[in-house]
Amino acid sequence: VQLQASGGGLVQAGGSLRLSCAASGRISPWYVMGWFRQAPGKERDFVAAIRWLGGNTYYADSAEGRFTISRDNAKNTVYLQMNSLKPEDTAVYYCATGGGSYLYAGGYEFWGQGTEVTVSS
């Protein structure tokens, strides 16, 4: 399984970005796809997740109401629409997929390379 994340960039506070994560290879329909982020000097934190089968979504408190995760099963692609961005959203964003708990990095087996998001004030 390979994951390719894209869509990061520089945006002003209040702006929007849409991240994409294209998956290739054999992925179990029971897996969940998640987005994590890691700011400099900080741990990798959960942002949002979606189940390939059923489409159930989960969000961190920091993302709830501003970010929307969605999937296109035909394209094996997951999106993270980020609105009302804040400087504290600045981080490298990683997509991942796996069969464990959606909330913890250890629950994911496969990781993308990360895409950098910078939100200026």
Go through 60-97 and write b for each residue having 16 or more CB atoms within 10 A of its CB, e for each that does not.
bebbeeebbbebeeeebbbbbebeebeeebbbbbbbbb
Stretch 31-44: mean pLDDT: 96
Phi, psi of 13, deg, nearest 5: -55, 135
97, 109 Cβ separation under 8 angstroms: yes
pLDDT of 47-69, one tens digit each?
999 998 989 999 999 999 999 99
Residue 15 pLDDT greater than 90, yes or no? yes
Residue 121 pLDDT greater than 90, yes or no? yes
Residue 34 pLDDT greater than 90, yes or no? yes
Helix (H, G, I), strand (E, B) or coil at 23: strand
Place of tokens 């087996």: 109
pLDDT of 65: 97
pLDDT of 67: 98
pLDDT of 79-103, one tens digit each?
999 999 999 999 999 999 999 999 9
Confidence of residue 27 (pLDDT cuts 50, 70, 90): confident
Place of tokens 């960039």: 9
17, 11 Cβ separation under 8 angstroms: yes
Single-letter residue type at 61: D
